[in-house]
């Protein structure tokens, strides 16, 4: 399996990103390849008006990523190899960089925060524009459930 290119998945602590990791694990089993779970962090010393150290931010990112992976693999009978990567920087830039030699980059599409997306752009759309590998943007899980229910009704 290690000879295959990995599926890279971006994680930000959101429920949507957790579902993206679940999808990436399933896809990796189908393809017979590893997963590279990536958490990008930024050092902002006074975020939330609480003094923070670089080491604290880095440690929190590593712990959050480990917890996301533990949650995703819990209860699975078969799990592909998962490499955990934490890196500092702009999320889109870092995801594209880490995925530069990947089979696929998987990110979660988030709903809401419309004004922020207009002004700054979203991580998922930036990844789609900049990546040289295929990018899968997954909608929030609630939309998957609704689509599955609609498909089931159509079959009946």
Tell me the pLDDT tens digit for each residue of 134-143. 999 998 765 5
Inside any domain, residue 95: yes
Phi-psi group of 152: left, alpha or beta (phi > 0 → left; psi -120 to 50 → alpha; rest → beta): alpha
CATH code of the domain containing 134: 3.40.50.620
**For position 52, what pLDDT does the model report?**
72
pTM for the complete prediction? 0.82
**For position 95, what pLDDT does the model report?**
98
Distance from C-alpha of 55 to C-alpha of 75, rounded to nearest angstrom:
32
Inside any domain, residue 66: yes
The proportion of the chain whose per-residue pLDDT surpasses 70, expressed as a percent, equals 77
Inside any domain, residue 69: yes
Domain count, the chain: 1
Mean pLDDT to the nearest integer, 11-40: 96
Inside any domain, residue 127: yes
Inside any domain, residue 64: yes
Mean pLDDT to the nearest integer, 100-111: 91
Inside any domain, residue 2: no
Domain hosting residue 30, numbered range: 7-155
């Amino acid at each position: 399996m290690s000879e295959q290119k990995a599926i890279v998945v971006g994680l930000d602590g959101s429920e949507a990103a957790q579902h993206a990791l679940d999808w990436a694990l399933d896809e990796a089993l189908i393809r017979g390849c590893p997963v590279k779970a990536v958490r990008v962090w930024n050092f902002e010393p006074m975020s939330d008006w609480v003094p923070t150290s670089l080491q604290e931010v880095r440690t929190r990112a590593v712990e959050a990523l480990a917890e996301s992976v533990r949650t995703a693999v819990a209860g699975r009978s078969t799990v592909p190899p998962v490499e955990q990567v934490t890196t500092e920087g702009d999320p889109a830039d870092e995801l594209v960089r880490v995925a530069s030699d990947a089979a696929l980059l998987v990110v979660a599409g988030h709903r809401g925060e419309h004004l922020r997306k207009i002004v700054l752009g979203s991580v998922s759309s930036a990844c789609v524009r900049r990546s040289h590998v295929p990018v899968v943007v997954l909608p929030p899980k609630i939309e998957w459930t609704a689509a599955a229910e609609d498909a089931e009704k159509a079959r009946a």
